[in-house]
Amino acid sequence: MMKQHYFRLTPVVLLACSALANAEHYQSGITTWPVKEGKMVLVAGVLTDNSRLYYLNYSFFFEEPDKTLVVIPIVKEKANLNDYSLSFSTFNGGDDVIADAMLVVNRDNTWLITAHKDAVRGYDRPGRIATQTYRLFHGEEVQWKYYFSPVHKGEYAEKENYTIERALSETAKTLN
């Protein structure tokens, strides 16, 4: 059985799971982990108003064996690689996580899962959660060297006490 690692990117903790969940405190800074042919590098910076709102801005890089650091864009669709973002931002409104992400890494694949909660009724209230799963691709000559491209969209219906974390975990379980 192939071992998968889950990296949940939240403003408070980074959750790294193999067989069991091991939570550790996560703060802004640099996090790396080995992947096929190199290292994934996450650079996280915090933005907060010091009272209620809290964001982490994530940028992804690939460190090659020769230590070259390559930026990994997040493309909106594989057919148009020029429409991309160089980061993903989490968002907390009070104690409610509105947007978050998780990396799922196994020997052959790396995925980025993002989740956004519809908070139109306000924070700390039930809302529909939409997920987007991206896979890390190694580009051809005319493409980005590495890039995350969308491979699946998911939606979780509005339910009481249904969290972003649960949507991310359930989505991660479907990956192979």
What pLDDT digit, counting tens, does each position of 117-129 carry?
987 777 777 788 9
- For the stretch 47-95, pLDDT in tens is 877 766 778 888 999 999 999 999 999 999 988 889 999 999 888 776 7
Tokens standing for residue 129:
């959660």
pLDDT at res. 19 = 24
Per-state percent for the chain, helix, strand, coil, to nearest 5: 5, 55, 35
Query: Residue ranges per domain, the chain?
Result: 5-173
Rounded CA gap, 150 and 62, in Å? 18
Percent of the chain with pLDDT over 70: 82
